[in-house]
Amino acid sequence: MLSLLLIIVIYIAFISLGLPDSMLGAAWPAMYQDLHVPVSYAGFISMTICFGTVVSSICYSRLSRRFHTETITIVSVAATAAALLGFSLAPTFPILIALALILGLGAGSVDAGLNNYVALHFKARAMNFLHASWGLGTLVGPFLLSYLFANGLGWRPGYRVLGTTQSCIVLLLIFSIPLWRSNRTDEGSSESGEESAMDAGVAIREKGVAAALIGFFSYCAMENTAMLWSATFLVSARGFSESQAAGSAGLLFWGMTAGRIVAGLISDKLGDSRMIRIGEILIAVAAALLIALPPDFCIAALFLLGLGFGPIYPAMIHQTPECFGAKASSAIIGLEMASAYVGSAFMPPLFGALGRATTMGILPLFVLFFTALNFMAIETKKRKCLG
């Protein structure tokens, strides 16, 4: 019963991680005008957030040797709450950039810490539901802003609501401390705060780690590129109107969330490796359909693409302790998170440059390339550390 209550608390914390992820894109059309900056400046905020997450993900293993997961999570969620409340008050763009760095630093530690904790202590089903929780969080921001804008309110109240919600989650995490302690006592382990936990500098030299990092980089490269550019692809290459494309592109997020819920129901039976392969096959089929089929079928193909994305990331994380051992898992998952954020930060802009130089119609080919790279990386990792 205590484990069930604890995993519910962890899911709520991961929903909070997803809340701001879709907020910036939805709010930016109003934000840049209020702040009197060019529309392209959204990229600077996004890159700053990614930079913060990379730094905190790499540093997570060092923090985990001194503090327990719940301590790191409480402080990190409090940092994100403060940053979001700061967003609602920020008078100038430079202040927004400083707050974006704090937001990224907090988010990276929550991401690495909770992923490592669930990978160590729970089955694959729990990991998939964890990332489905993130997906639910990403669905909230656009709906919240739509309601606020429809009622004549601006983007600042939206960030204020998110910041207040995060603050309430901090209180929930504080009240849940006995659950974390009880779980450690029941399992007879300290789980974190161990001096024996491996340092990131040592972990990166472990056999198979380089392939694992390429796997995370390639996955997030294709996922975030599709998330950012699918609507533009539909308009430029498939003849959709802007309003049609905006609604249709949202099916990608619904597909991802559905994919993780379904994976949570079947992953314990099929195993992580099979879930990754199923996801890659669905992605390849969806990309082929986006190329070959008439525009009317693109909506279904985007949902299928999201469905394929769904199980891959949770399964790769859940494999980490099995592949590299519990002692190395916190350091390696931190490195994996950092590699994932690098792919998220740099590959979508690269595709944008390629698309402008050629055509946005190359999006399915871009996705297929990184699907193949992901397949090769995961197979290499399996040979080197899973046998």
Given a cut of 80, whether residue 166 has pLDDT beyond it is: yes
Instruction: Please check whether residues 220 and 347 belong to one and the same domain.
Output: yes
**Model pLDDT for residues 100-125, shown as the tens digit of each residue:** 999 999 988 888 888 888 888 888 88
- Over the range 73-102, which residues count as b (16 or more CB within 10 Å of their CB) and which as e? bbbbbbbbbbbbbbbbebeebeebbebbbb
Residue percentage of the chain with pLDDT more than 70: 92
Sign of CA dihedral 224, 316, 75, 179: positive
Q: How many domains does the chain have?
A: 2
Instruction: Please check whether residues 90 and 139 belong to one and the same domain.
Output: yes
Tell me the mean pLDDT in the region 334-347: 88
Residue 30 has a pLDDT of 80
Closest by CA to 229, choosing from 260, 252, 255, is 252
**Model pLDDT for residues 20-77, shown as the tens digit of each residue:** 877 777 677 788 888 888 876 877 888 888 889 888 888 887 888 888 889 999 999 9
**Which range scores top for mean pLDDT: 36-40, 248-252, 326-330, 365-369?**
365-369
* CA dist., res. 156 & res. 158, Å (int): 5
Instruction: Please check whether residues 215 and 296 belong to one and the same domain.
Output: yes
Instruction: Please check whether residues 46 and 125 belong to one and the same domain.
Output: yes
Residue 375 has a pLDDT of 96
Q: Which of 163, 194, 225 is the last residue of a domain?
A: 194
- Assess contact for 56 and 112: CB atoms under 8 A: yes
Q: Which of 144, 176, 194 is the last residue of a domain?
A: 194
Range list of H helices, 176-271:
177-187, 200-203, 209-238, 242-270
Instruction: Count CA atoms closer than 13 A to 309's CA, side-chain side.
Output: 31
Residue 156: which domain range? 2-194
pLDDT band at 220 (very low <50, low <70, confident <90, very high): very high
Q: Which residue in the block uniquely carries the two structure tokens 């040979």?
A: 383
Instruction: DSSP letter for 195, please.
Output: T
Question: What pTM was estimated for this model as a whole?
Answer: 0.79
Q: Which of 154, 169, 194 is the last residue of a domain?
A: 194
CATH number reported for the structural domain that contains residue 210 in this entry? 1.20.1250.20
Can you say how many angstroms the Cα of residue 256 is from the centroid of all Cα atoms in its chain? 11
